[in-house]
Amino acid sequence: MTTEAPPKGELRPIVPYLALGNTRDEDYLFGSRCTKCGTLYLGPRLFCGKCSGEGPFETVRLSKEGEVYVWSIIHQSVPWVKVPYIAAVIDLPEGVSVNANIEGIEPKPENLKFGMKVKMFTEVVSQDADGNQYVGYKFRPA
């Protein structure tokens, strides 16, 4: 994992609901709000799974600050992921939740609280064989 510019390839978000800015500080998560029923989804959306509406959807820039709804500490994962790590569901104030890793604290149950405040940051998390680098988002205690 390196944050240096790759020799070839491009910088890509690892999920479609992460918008990349010119620097990592400018990256943000975005959602789509159904203008018929108000339901907010992560990322782009064509149809509404709640009201069956066909849009239009309003793009909503999501806050970097959120609260931990629930968490788990993962001790067994795929071979390329270092364990243990903290996986969590984070509630964002706009009314949508995201899955995320929490970094910056030891992955131990006593370090985690329901409702604890966390803040998002982004960094390059992987690179493919063509030299494309993927930016992911994570949270750390606010």
Partner 1 sequence: MREVAVIGVSMIKFGRYPERKVEELAARAGLDALKDAGVEMKQIEALYSGNLYQTSGSGQRILQQMGQTGIPVVNVANACATGSTAFREAYFAVASGAYDIVLAIGSEQMGKQGLLGAPRDPATSIEGRIGSYLMPAVFGMAGMEHMRKYGTTQEQFALASVKNHWHSTMNPLAQYQKETPLDEVLNSRVVAYPNTLLMCCPTGDGAAAAVLCSMEKARQFTTQPIKIAASVLTSDPYTDRDLTLPDINTLTRNAAKQAYEMAGIGPEDLDQVELHDCFATAELLHYENLGLCGEGEAAKHIASGAPWLGNKVPTKYEEDVAPFVDKTYKPKTKAVVNVSGGLLSKGHPLGATGVANIAEIVWHLRGQAGARQVEGAKVGLAHVIGLCSACTIHILQR
The residues that touch partner 1, with contacts defined as CB under 8 A, are 14-15, 39, 41-42, 49-50, 69-85, 87-89, 91, 95-101, 109, 114, 125-129, 132, 134, 136-137
Query: Which of 65, 103 has the CB closer to partner 1?
Result: 103
Give SS3 for 111.
Answer: helix
The DSSP line for 126-137 is EE-TTS-EEEEE
DSSP 138: E
φ, ψ at 61 (rounded to 5°) = -80, 130
Q: Compute the least distance from the CB of residue 92 to partner 1, in Å.
A: 10
Q: Compute the least distance from the CB of residue 29 to partner 1, in Å.
A: 11
Respond yes or no on whether the N-terminal peptide bond of residue 16 is cis (omega within 30° of 0): no
Contact 135, 11 (CB under 8 A): yes
Query: Which of 57, 71 has the CB closer to partner 1?
Result: 71
Query: Which of 65, 101 has the CB closer to partner 1?
Result: 101
Query: Which of 22, 76 has the CB closer to partner 1?
Result: 76
Query: Which of 65, 97 has the CB closer to partner 1?
Result: 97
Q: Residue 39 and residue 21: Cα distance in Å, rounded? A: 26
Q: Which is it for strands 11-13 and 133-141: parallel, antiparallel or unpaired?
A: parallel
Q: Compute the least distance from the CB of residue 3 to partner 1, in Å.
A: 15
Q: Compute the least distance from the CB of residue 11 to partner 1, in Å.
A: 13
Q: Compute the least distance from the CB of residue 22 to partner 1, in Å.
A: 22
Q: Residue 81 and residue 107: Cα distance in Å, rounded? A: 14
